[in-house]
Chains A and B, each alone.
Chain A
Amino acid sequence: MFKRTTMPPRKEKEQKDSVVYAASKRKPPPFKPQRPSKVPRVSITESESSVRKTAKPAATSKRKTEVPDDDDEELEDNIRPSAGGAEESDEELDEDPLASKRSTSKPVKPTNPLPQKRTAPPRQPSPMSVSSDDAPNISPERTSTTFPDAPPEPSQMEDTPSIPQPLLVRLLHEHFAHKSTKIDKHAIEVLQKYFEVFVREAIARTSLQKKQDAEKGGGVHELDVEWLELEDLEKVAAGMMLDF
């Protein structure tokens, strides 16, 4: 439920609208990555191809990702024994929007899907291939947080530090009634995630609140919209405490 509040279902609407366009079947390149919603659609055929992909992920993802998938599996085998496990693969899931569709728990992604794709363009030497490489670089954060149907985004502790473990343990122990209470290692890691989600949610709700206020024209200056202020946090604090 709280996922929905962070984002309006903007993307879905766009999809439905643009599906109407007649399909130019030959045109779509074989491995167009999903486009981020924020990036302006350049041409009709372009958006059409990406829309077809997002509209029926189950059907299309098989066909379109055939080649990358093969690469993935090979790499996966190379990487899995050496890699540090779930943490690393989570990070990778972030980088590939398609991957997050398949499953979040499966530690599948190779560590370098982007270089792989960069070598691919010979198949499809259009100017678009450049922008398509850039797109996934910007998108992962955004698609995972703005796409309503996406499964919960995997751990992002690498890029955004959560509360450090020792600090969290210390703070918890400050508040335990009995000194003998302890907390196990796995629990603290999950708890770290909990607070990461908490903080992210607070930020997301605050910025949404700010935007809504601005739309109402409540005297919020345009430049102020991206500045999160204490007043905006106060407005969402009650809801936060109820939902967590």
Chain B
Amino acid sequence: MPGLQDADDATKEEKLKAALWYAIGQTVDGVALTQDLNATPHFIGGLSELVWAQIENVAQDLEAFAKHSDRQVINTKDVLLLGRRNEGLAQILKSQTNAVREKEKTSTGR
């Protein structure tokens, strides 16, 4: 029953988008509060779509990166590659990677 399948997919996607919308809304509100800005609901919706598209791109990129090094598990190296076209972003990702590792160390150290 392909028709039913499609309908299911559509509602699933809708739900996921709604969840993403909510999450982005939270982030935008948080940022807006600290910077004396306001965001219209339209803006949040548009940004959600943008992030959705970006997640799609990123997912495919990451999968390709992992596959390229014969892995099935995406690790931080692949994520670092996402910053390859943007120096500042690469730096942020790198420091975040280190921070995550540090955290892991301190939590497993004891």
Which residue on A lies nearest to B12, using beta carbons? Answer: A174
Instruction: For B103, list chain A residues within 8 Å (CB).
Output: 84-87
A118 at the interface (CB under 8 A from B): no
Q: B60-87 interface mask toward A, CB cutoff 8 Å, 1 = contact, 0 = none?
A: 1011001000001111101110110111
Residue from the list B51, B52, B91, B101 in contact with A199, Cβ < 8 A: B51
**Is B7 positioned at the interface, with any CB of A under 8 Å from its CB?**
no
Select B60's contact among A163, A175, A194, beta carbons within 8 Å. Answer: A175
A163-B20, A184-B76, A198-B51 given; A227·B38 CB < 8 A: yes
> Are B97 and A190 neighbours in the complex by a CB distance under 8 Å?
yes
CA distance A167 to B104 in the complex (A): 22
Contact B43 A191 (CB under 8 A): no
The reply to whether B97 and A202 form a contact with Cβ atoms under 8 Å apart is no
The minimal Cβ–Cβ distance linking B52 to chain A, given in whole angstroms, is 8
Q: Smallest distance from the beta carbon of A29 to chain B beta carbons, Å? A: 27
Asked whether A244 and B54 contact (CB < 8 A) given A87-B99, A190-B96, the answer is yes
Contacts of A233 in B (CB 8 A): 43, 46-47, 50
A129 interface hit (Cβ, 8 Å): no
Q: Mark B15-44, 1 if CB is under 8 A from A, else 0.
A: 010011001101110111011111110110
Q: Is the CB of A228 within 8 A of B43?
A: yes
How far is A190 from B83 in the complex, measured between Cα atoms in Å? 11
Q: B30, A160: Cβ atoms under 8 Å?
A: yes
Interface size on B, residues (CB 8 A): 68
Contacts of B26 in A (CB 8 A): 160-161
Q: Are A176 and B59 in contact (CB-based, < 8 A)?
A: yes
Check A84–B42 contact: CB distance below 8 A.
no
Q: Which of B20, B42, B46, B97 contacts A167 (CB 8 A)?
A: B20
CA distance A163 to B107 in the complex (A): 23
From A2, A155, A164, A226, give the contact of B89 (CB < 8 A): A2
Q: Give complex CA distance A206, B40 in Å.
A: 12
Which one, B42, B59, B95, contacts A105 given CB within 8 A? Answer: B95
Nearest chain B CB to A134 CB, angstrom units: 15
| Nearest 7 interchain pairs by C-beta | A160-B30, A175-B59, A85-B106, A230-B42, A86-B99, A86-B103, A152-B92
Given A105-B102, A151-B91, A228-B39, 4 more A-B residue pairs with CB atoms under 8 Å apart are A183-B73, A184-B75, A186-B97, A191-B62
Binding site for A on B (CB under 8 A): 13, 16, 19-20, 23-24, 26-28, 30-32, 34-40, 42-43, 45-47, 50-56, 58-60, 62-63, 66, 72-76, 78-80, 82-83, 85-89, 91-93, 95-107
> B-contacting residues of A (Cβ < 8 Å)?
1-3, 84-87, 90, 104-105, 107, 141-142, 151-152, 154-155, 159-164, 167-168, 170-178, 180-184, 186-187, 189-191, 193-200, 202-203, 206-207, 226-230, 232-234, 237, 240-241, 243-244
- 11 residue pairs from A and B, CB less than 8 Å apart: A1-B86, A141-B34, A142-B35, A151-B95, A152-B91, A160-B34, A161-B27, A177-B60, A198-B51, A199-B28, A243-B89
